[in-house]
């Protein structure tokens, strides 16, 4: 049921809503656990939101939890998107419809920035995490490196550092 609510609130990106729900409201995860699961979801194939909900469902309730989280995450928005698509094709030429879409895009950008700043607080006291975040931003946003190159370099280096620092070598 939680993922039904999340999916109905988060068209265009669920990260902000998932973090608020899982960390602040339900307190199922702390900030560090959330970042860890999110990092794993980022490197798995497919959309990050889907990977995250499957990982979280599995963590608490096994295979049934993963299936329930996935269904809750995908089914409600699928029904709504199909309905809205039908309406949009009929009214797409209207200026207020186009304006609404532009406004939603701006709101989504604001949510991403807000969530990034909130999650960045979890990196306090972890200088390597801050350095990796800054280097990643610089490589993608300023140097225009492909994300695949950043993952292959900084991502692999980060995993190696975490593995070593946790004593798993």
Is residue 63, in this structure, part of any structural domain at all? Answer: yes
Report how many domains make up the chain.
Answer: 1
Tokens of 138: 């610089």
Is residue 117, in this structure, part of any structural domain at all? Answer: no
Is residue 142, in this structure, part of any structural domain at all? Answer: no
Alpha carbon distances (Å) from 131 to 120, 123, 153, 154: 11, 10, 14, 10
Phi, psi of 113 (to 5 degrees): -65, -45
Is residue 80, in this structure, part of any structural domain at all? Answer: yes
Is residue 46, in this structure, part of any structural domain at all? Answer: yes
pTM higher than 0.85 = no
Look over the chain and give the mean of its residue pLDDT values, rounded to a whole number.
84
Is residue 111, in this structure, part of any structural domain at all? Answer: no
pLDDT in tens, 34-54: 888 988 988 888 888 889 989
Winning range, highest mean pLDDT, from 1-5, 7-11, 60-64, 129-133: 60-64
Is residue 128, in this structure, part of any structural domain at all? Answer: no
d(CA 83, CA 130): 43
Compute the average pLDDT of residues 115-123: 77
d(CA 47, CA 166): 28
Is residue 163, in this structure, part of any structural domain at all? Answer: no
Identify whether the C-beta of residue 123 lies closer than 8 Å to the C-beta of residue 130.
yes
pLDDT in tens, 59-112: 989 999 999 989 988 888 888 889 988 988 888 888 988 888 889 888 888 888
Identify whether the C-beta of residue 29 lies closer than 8 Å to the C-beta of residue 23.
yes
Identify whether the C-beta of residue 11 lies closer than 8 Å to the C-beta of residue 3.
no
Q: How confident is the model at residue 11 (pLDDT cuts 50, 70, 90)?
A: low
Which residues form the domain of 16? 2-93
């Amino acid at each position: 049921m939680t993922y039904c609510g999340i999916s109905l609130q988060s068209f265009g990106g669920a990260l902000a809503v998932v973090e608020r729900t899982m960390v602040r409201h339900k307190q199922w995860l702390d900030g560090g656990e959330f970042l860890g699961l999110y990092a794993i979801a980022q490197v798995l194939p497919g959309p990050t939101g889907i990977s995250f909900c499957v990982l979280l469902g599995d963590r608490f309730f096994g295979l049934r939890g993963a299936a329930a989280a996935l269904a809750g995450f995908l089914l409600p928005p699928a029904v709504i998107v199909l309905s809205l698509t039908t309406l949009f094709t009929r009214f797409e030429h209207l200026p207020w419809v186009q304006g609404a879409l532009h406004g939603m895009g701006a709101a989504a950008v604001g949510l991403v920035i807000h969530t990034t700043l909130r999650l960045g607080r979890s990196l306090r006291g972890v200088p390597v995490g801050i350095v990796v975040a800054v280097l990643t931003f610089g490589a993608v946003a300023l140097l225009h490196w492909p994300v695949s190159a950043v993952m292959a370099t900084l991502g692999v280096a980060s995993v190696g550092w975490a593995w070593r620092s946790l004593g798993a070598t």
